[in-house]
Structure formats: C-alpha cells, structure tokens
Amino acid sequence: MTDSNIRVRFAPSPTGLLHVGNARTALYNWLYARRTGGVFVLRIEDTDVERSEVRYETQLIEDLRWLGLDWDEGPGTPGDSSDPGQGEFGPYRQSERLSIYAQHTEQLLKEGKAYPCFCTAGELETERKQAIAEHLPQVYSGRCRTLDKATVDANIAAGKPFAVRLKIEDHPLRFHDLVRGEVEFAADTVSDPIIVRSAAGEEDGEVEGIPVYNYVVTIDDALMEITHVIRGDDHISNTPKQVAIYEAFGWMVPDFAHLSTILGADRERLSKRHGATSISTFREMGYLPEALVNYLALLGWGAEDGKTETFTLDELIKAFTLERVTPSPAIFDFDKLNWLNRHYLKLASPARLATLAWPYFAPQLQSPEAAASELVGPWFEKLLALFIPAVDHLDQLPAAAAPVLVFDPDAARANPENAAILAAGSAGTVLMEFANRVRTHSSLVQPDVFKTWIDEIKTATGIKGKELFHPIRIALTGAHSGREFDKVIPLIEDGSTLGLGIPSVCERVERFVGV
RNA sequence: GGCGCUAUCGUCUAGGGGUUAGGACGUGAGAUUCUCAAUCUUAAAACACGGGUUCGAUUCCCGUUAGCGCUACCA
C-alpha cells in the first residue's frame, strides 16, 4: 500500500506545551504518512500572536523528536528567520503567509463568492438570542448578503467597518470521514462564515482585516495539497464551513479523519487537573518514548488481530490503518501506560537505563530522607524501575550516603503494616533465631553468611517466604520491602564501621527481639 | 435551545444477524523466586434503554437517555 501522492499534516499552535491529545494526532498523521509512503508536513499555526511563543515552538519540536516523529516538510529553526525550513510549499508558519490569505480574499470578493458584512456584534447577538428563544438553529440571517453595490460602496466610503463573509451555496455540505463515514450538514444550519475579521475599509485594494482560523487552515491545507486531514473531533463542526471554502475556490475537498477526544478518569476532557498531560512532563517522570507512543497508538486504535498490545514504531507503521481508528472517546489510563513503561524498561539495555536514570536519581541522594526511601521503600511501584541501575551506582557512593540508613525502631514498629507482620508468632520465632546467630558473630555480617543463616532458619523453623523475610527486613531497614539484602547489608556495615552512628546489624536486630 | 459526534467488562479494545461475546490493563485468589517488582495459573467483570426489521438481534434501522464537541469577527 504505497501512494506517494498522500500528504498529511500536523498543525499545532505554539501556545502551550504539546499534550497527549495533540501528540496522538501527530502520531496518527505520521503513521499514516509512513505507512502509505506519503509526506508528513509540520505547520505552525501562530496567527494568534498574543499567545504564540517561540519557546513553545522550540519545545514542540523537541517533544516530537523525542517521540521519534520526523517530518518531511516544515518550518526552519524557531526564531531564526534566515532558516526557510524544508519543503516546496512554504512558508510553514501561518504568520509568514498573511499576504497569501489576503490575495485569496480579494479573489473571492471579486468573484462574488464572498461579501462584506457590516453587521455589528450587537446586531448579531440579538439575532442569536432570538434564534435560541425560538428554538431555531443559530444561523446568520444573511442580511448583508443581498446588499446592492451602491449601499456597499456608500458604507465603505463612510468608513463603516466590515468583516468578510463567505457565501454558502444552498446545498448540503458533506464530507467523507475515514473514521465516521459520511457526515452531512444541511445548508440552512450553517451560517455564512466570517473569513476575515472586521476592519475599516480597504487600502490599495487590500482587505485590512485579520483572516480567521477556519479560513487560513483551509487555504493552507489546499495550497499544501493535503489529501487527508487527520485532526481532533472538536473540528467536526468546523468542517462544513471549510468544505464551503474548498468549494468556493473550486478546490478538491480532502478526506478527513476526526479523532476522538482523550478524556480523564472523570470523563472530562483531559487537562492539567488530571495530572501529567504534557509530553515533556511524561519525559521528566521517567516514561520512555516508546512506551508513550505505544500507549497513544492503542488509545483509539487496535491491531487487526485484536490481541497484540506492544508495538515498536516500525511495527506500528506496518499495522496502522485509519479504518481501524475508533470513533468513540477514550479515557486516559495511567495504569496501562505504566504497564507498557515497565515492559519497555525491561527491554532497555542497562547502559541506556543507567544513562537515563542517573540524572534523576543523583539529586535524590542530596536528601537523606529521600535517598532512604529510594533504598528501602517499595521503589518498584513508583515507576522507579528506571532507578534500578542508578541504585547500582551506590557502590561508587561515598560513605556519606550511608547515614540514610538510620531509622527509628519505634516508628518502624508502630507502622500499621509492620505491626501486623511483627504481631505474628512466626515473626518472633524468626527474629529470635536470627538474633542468636547475629550475637555469635560480633563481626560483620557478609551477604553469603546471611544467606546461610536464612537457609538454617528456614529448615529449623519451617517458616519461609514473607513470614521469614518480612520481620528480618523490618529489623534491618525499618520497612518490609525494598532493595535486595545484598545491596542493603553492606551499606549498614560500612556505616557502622566508619563510625557514622549507624547501628550495626546486631544492634538493630536486638531492638526487635521479643516484640 | 440548535447542530453534530459517540455508546461492548472499572479502563483500552476485538467481534459481528445464530459466539461459552475474545484480548490487554487493573482487581481478587493461588503458585513461585529472599521482600517488592516480575513470572505462571486462576477467578470475577460488558453488548445503555425502548421500539422495529428478522425464524433469530449485542450486531441493521428509528427513537430515548447519557456523555462529549461546536454553537465567536478563539485556535
């Protein structure tokens, strides 16, 4: 399935961080292009000068690259006007295309396919309220549509500000949606859309107003010869207006694919309230790009066999089709993302993980409390699989890191989970056995010695598994789960022999015997 | 209010006129490895409702309900 004529685009506004919804749109566009041998265009929609910022554009590009998505055509370096970018259909920033839009408006006006509208905001508002009161569709009355030339000229001469509206022909506006099938809007439910905001008059035959989003998007898509518009379903209602624009210019209407919204657990549109939503935040939290990409691909799309869950980018390219994209909204599920992240963590090379993890982990060691929790806490649950290799760097740590292993035995005993474990009869037995062995060895407890003792206690008492290890773990670290004993015991020993005020293994255990 | 989109386990989804309605995440139980994680086994868990069409609808059609989007001279 290769069709080199296929051209798709991702057109974000640089008004904020790239979030998962847009990232998924970008991914699907990219997959479709790569799958079909088509072209993927990146276009920056920065007509909103108030909110657009260069730093967002820079971040956006970095995020896309991190995800592994590249583009065939797109703008040059953000903020560097000397860099034209790549592709023959540029410029690829809307702010650099304003004259193109103005020319097209002139054409439409000249051909009578658009007309100046002198209605004021107040008049429009009145119409709208009336329509709502009468339970009618809110459509523009078309009052200025039939103004005769003399009136128009007089109004312009009088300096009356006007917007430009497109004349919608009286027939249904329909388009083909690859995800939803044929979608049709009756002509009388769609207003003649404003394509250029109002401004007072013309100058040198140029319309002065600022063109509106729906209009410029359509012109850009047409001029860039986009064949498939893949975007969020919040644009469905805009589409009939855009179809009318294509028709007015006699351009071929592309196929559309409207992707469903991504919702939070409360079924509301995913937002900052729901926690992480921006790609860079996921990155900072230790998610791997392949996990995020895999998850996003699965959110609204499923493999043909209905079973495969894990895909590399290459596998995704082979398997992806727009026909299999689901039309219904999807709730973002962090649990499944976490599962995929763990999956890819296991596949990642130790060298890669160490490189990734160390910068995250190193700062933790600045705080004894934080480091302690990394060492003895249930670290695996917190996506900290990423930190495993970093923990292995502990060999290289100075003794200064050791004091983190001081803990309060009373607090450890008071912890409800620990208390429940220690309350069992087996716990007392185990600790007694363990203490007896520790007492006869006033010297260091080496990991291999430790192992021998465990085996002895196991055979002597018949106690095994959790019942055996939990009490010992609490006595040694204050917590019932954590890093392997081989890693923890040497730290304790180092700390106590170095005179850092760390109780030795012997002391620790004594404090728990008989409880 | 109008227009539009959507509706299968808690979640992501497969399926499709006759199925034990499949998979995955999560959850419960069990096994196992020194804990946790992982792994294995196993369990519970769904076709929103009402009408049609049909011998037969979860599947097709209509309606209802619910959710969401748009309803701007925002993008």
The confidence score (pLDDT) of residue A469 equals: 78
Chain A window 186-215: residues with CB closer than 7 Å to nucleic chain B are 186, 189, 194, 197-198, 209-210, 212-214
* CA of A335, C1' of B9: distance in angstroms: 16
Single-letter residue type at A383 = L
Which nucleotide is closest, CA of A261 to its C1'? B68
Q: Which nucleotides in chain B have some atom under 7 angstroms from a protein Cβ?
A: 1-8, 10-15, 22-26, 32-38, 67-75
Which nucleotide is closest, CA of A326 to its C1'? B13
Check pLDDT > 60 for residue A57.
yes
pLDDT tens by residue, A454-510: 777 777 777 767 777 777 777 776 666 655 566 566 556 555 554 445 556 666 666
Judged by average pLDDT, the poorest of A25-34, A68-77, A162-171 is A162-171
Q: What average pLDDT score do residues A33-50 get?
A: 92
Which nucleotide is closest, CA of A346 to its C1'? B38
Cβ atoms A118, A199 nearer than 8 A? no
CA atoms of A228 and A469, how far apart (whole Å): 60
Distances in whole angstroms, Cα of residue A35 to Cα of each of A6, A171, A178, A391? 10, 36, 16, 41
- Which residue is associated with the tokens 């998962």? A20
Helix (H, G, I), strand (E, B) or coil at A387: helix
The confidence score (pLDDT) of residue A267 equals: 82
CA atoms of A462 and A426, how far apart (whole Å): 10
* CA of A23, C1' of B12: distance in angstroms: 17
Q: Does nucleic acid strand B have an atom less than 7 angstroms from the CB of A268?
A: yes
Phi, psi of A93 (to 5 degrees): -115, 130
CA atoms of A224 and A42, how far apart (whole Å): 11
CA atoms of A198 and A196, how far apart (whole Å): 6
Check pLDDT > 60 for residue A189.
yes
Residues sharing a CB contact under 8 Å with residue A453, sequence separation 6 or more, in sequence order = A434, A437
The confidence score (pLDDT) of residue A301 equals: 95
Choosing from A110, A160, A241, A272, which is the catalytic residue? A272
CA atoms of A88 and A19, how far apart (whole Å): 29
Chain A window 326-355: residues with CB closer than 7 Å to nucleic chain B are 326-331, 333, 335-336, 338-339, 342, 346
Q: Does nucleic acid strand B have an atom less than 7 angstroms from the CB of A426?
A: no
Q: Does nucleic acid strand B have an atom less than 7 angstroms from the CB of A238?
A: yes
pLDDT tens by residue, A64-123: 999 999 999 999 988 887 887 888 997 999 999 999 999 999 999 999 999 999 999 888
Residues sharing a CB contact under 8 Å with residue A221, sequence separation 6 or more, in sequence order = A9, A229, A254
Q: Does nucleic acid strand B have an atom less than 7 angstroms from the CB of A302?
A: yes
Q: Is A272 a catalytic residue?
A: yes
CA atoms of A175 and A173, how far apart (whole Å): 7
